[in-house]
Chain A
Amino acid sequence: MAYSEKLLDHFKNPKNVGTLDKSKANVGTGLVGAPECGDVMRLQIEVDDESGLIKDAKFKTFGCGSAIASSSLATEWLKGKTINEAVEIDNMAIVEELALPPVKIHCSVLAEDAIKSAIADYKEKNGIEK
């Protein structure tokens, strides 16, 4: 299976790998997938209290190349967005950007789930209604 240049670049030089302090109130953490399924994504966002913009995003992913590239791309897209903008990120946009083959679409779905889960965690911590 030949992967796109963009996908390979995100895989080889993943952006925003790391861990944010999940005890901070302005950090939202999403952990989705399961080791048994061969995919686990942890995606975190840090929201600027004043502007309401996502000022940092980090990920770590156990999974195939497409899963890693999808989460790397997701963190890139999250930065600078508001929570309301971020929740609109659609998995099909990731599929298009990385030219994911059909058998890898679930990787983009997982990335979307991770984004939504991180946002939900942030909202819950800050008492924002869903």
Chain B
Amino acid sequence: MNKNPLIYLDNNSTTPTDPRVVEAMLPFFHQFPGNAASRNHPFGWKAEEAVDYAREQIANLIGADAKEIIFTSGATEADNLGIKGVFEMYARKGNHIITATTEHKAVLDTCKKIEKQGGEVTYLEVNDKGLIDLNELEAAITDKTILVSIMWANNETGVIQPMKEIGQICEKHGVLLMSDATQAVGKIPVNPKETGIHLMAFTSHKMYGPKGVGALFVNRKNPRVKVTAQVDGGGHERGMRSGTLNVPGIVGFGKAAEIAKSEMENEAIRLKGLRNKLEEGLKSALEEVYVNGSTENRMPHVTNISFKHVEGEGLMMTFNQNIAVSSGSACTSASLEPSYVLKALGLGDDLAHSSIRFSLGRFTKEEDIDYAIEAVSKGVIHMRDLSPIWEMYKEGIDLDAVEWAEH
């Protein structure tokens, strides 16, 4: 084995673009340079044809109609368009939105903005598994509720919410349901129509497509949903999102969707095997290792692990010359606040600071996992040798009883 391999276990941040996707995109930079909105010459026709084809590929992956795909610059923009667009479009019906505390910032910060504009937002809490309570959701719905927005799978923990049951509750009360499915689409079966979802945000670069292109699924029939445009201009995308389409990006997004559809099922089985191997390997090499969030309802390729009495960022520094992961420790941020997602699960700040997210992907090999188990275990042992609280814990001192000099 290569002595210092570069191992990428940060696929929830972004995935490498599949070479087959890159190949599909290349002709659309120079050979076919047209603007998909140019209706009067072959350059434009070619671009429009390519966009239409990609739209079909993407719609096909999620069981939607091609007309229900609105291209955006990514999932953040799609989340903004979905939430703000509904808030404006349905202002006469009400001003109340329901979401959850573990949502991505693209949803939470958008909701915060809406609160400043006179909207009311309920933030549902989650249990220690990271799941929302369906009864609480139902109880939160009022006659002013215009939208429920719940993510399909969490970016930090991989925990999957009970989308079908959420869909049934929204259906019963006649409330629109949106889902940020960024981490789920292309990795597990996601079908908004069968799930009762009316709006759904997702992005290309989390499913082996290029960065800079995403989509908002907007249901067209029963009910016909509309959102107020947030970007004004040429009236592209059925008036919901102006701006020249990113043709090469969209072509790549389409190709990525096609590949995902055909390979997703086997890939999920393979990644689940590798993820479980990683967890088992670390648990057998080390004491006091905790997997965060539900282990039953979660994505096959993600694990979020706390290594007690070891600070996450410090731990990462022991192996980050060649292994890429993420930490829930926010030691680099000015606030010094650890992950709000892990805290919402009820984890103490100490365990949240001790967490590492490993997210595997299509290009992860078994030998990468073997290497990671060894390197991470070594790092944890090194950091525990340095840790005064590990020493105190080993001496049987109750750390909760210590009066810490907080700073």
Q: Which chain A residues have a beta carbon within 8 Å of chain B's beta carbons?
A: 1, 3, 11, 14, 17, 19, 31-42, 60-65, 67-68, 103, 106, 109-110, 113, 117
The interface residues of chain B lying within 8 Å CB-to-CB of A36 are 348-350, 353, 404, 406
13 residue pairs of the A-B complex, CB under 8 angstroms, read A32-B405, A35-B309, A36-B348, A36-B350, A37-B407, A38-B311, A38-B338, A40-B387, A40-B388, A42-B388, A60-B386, A62-B383, A65-B313
Inside 8 A of A3's CB, which chain B residues have their CB? 317
Interface residues, chain B, with chain A CB atoms under 8 Å away: 309-311, 313-314, 317, 329-334, 336, 338, 348-350, 353, 383, 385-391, 399, 404-407
Give CA–CA (A42, B391) in the complex, Å: 11
CA distance in complex: A60, B311 (Å): 13
Asked, given contacts A64-B331, A103-B333, whether A33 binds B311 with beta carbons under 8 Å apart, the answer is no
Q: Are A62 and B405 in contact (CB under 8 A)?
A: no
- Assess the B329–A31 pair: CB atoms within 8 A: no
Q: Are A38 and B405 in contact (CB under 8 A)?
A: no
Nearest-CB residue, chain A, relative to B351: A35
A9 nearest CB across to chain B (Å)? 12
A64 in complex: contacting residue of B311, B348, B385, CB < 8 Å: B311
What 6 pairs between A and B have smallest CB-CB spacing? A34-B404, A35-B350, A36-B349, A60-B388, A42-B388, A38-B353
Q: Which of A14, A37, A117 is B386 in contact with, Cβ under 8 Å? A: A14
In the assembled complex, which residues on chain A have CB atoms less than 8 Å from the CB atom of B348?
A: 35-36
Closest to A41 in B: B388
Residues of A contacting B310 with CB < 8 Å? Answer: 62
A33 touches B331 (CB 8 A): no
Interface of A is mostly: mixed
Docked pose: A97 CA to B250 CA in angstroms:
49
Question: CA A83 – CA B289 in complex, angstroms?
Answer: 41
B407:A63 contact, CB within 8 angstroms: no
Q: In the complex, are the beta carbons of B406 and A61 less than 8 A apart?
A: no
Cβ-neighbour of B349 out of A17, A35, A41, A64 (below 8 A): A35
Contacts of B405 in A (CB 8 A): 31-34, 113, 117
Contact of B311 among A14, A19, A39, A117 (CB under 8 A): A39
Given contacts A60-B391, A65-B314, A65-B317, contact A38 B349 (CB under 8 A): yes
When the two chains form the complex, which single residue of A31, A103, A109, A110 contacts B332, counting CB atoms closer than 8 Å? A103
Min CB distance B307 to A, Å, is: 11
Give CA–CA (A63, B324) in the complex, Å.
19
Complex CA gap A57/B197 in Å reads 62
In the bound complex, residues from chain A placing their C-beta under 8 Å from that of B317 are: 3, 11, 64-65
Cα A35 to Cα B350 with chains together (Å): 5
* Chain A hits for B336, CB < 8 A: 37-38, 106
A62 and B404 in contact, given A37-B336, A68-B314 (Cβ under 8 angstroms): no
Q: How far is the CB of B398 from chain A (nearest CB, A)?
A: 12
In the complex the two chains form, is B407's CB within 8 Å of A61's CB?
A: no
Whole-angstrom distance between the Cβ of A129 and the nearest chain B Cβ? 22
Q: Least Cβ distance of B339 to chain A in Å?
A: 11
A38 near B391: Cβ-Cβ < 8 Å: no
Which residues of the other chain, B, contact A34 by a CB distance below 8 angstroms? 404-407
Contact, CB under 8 Å: B388 / A61: yes
Chain A nearest CB: distance from B403 CB in Å? Answer: 9
User: Is A33's CB under 8 angstroms from B349's CB?
Assistant: no
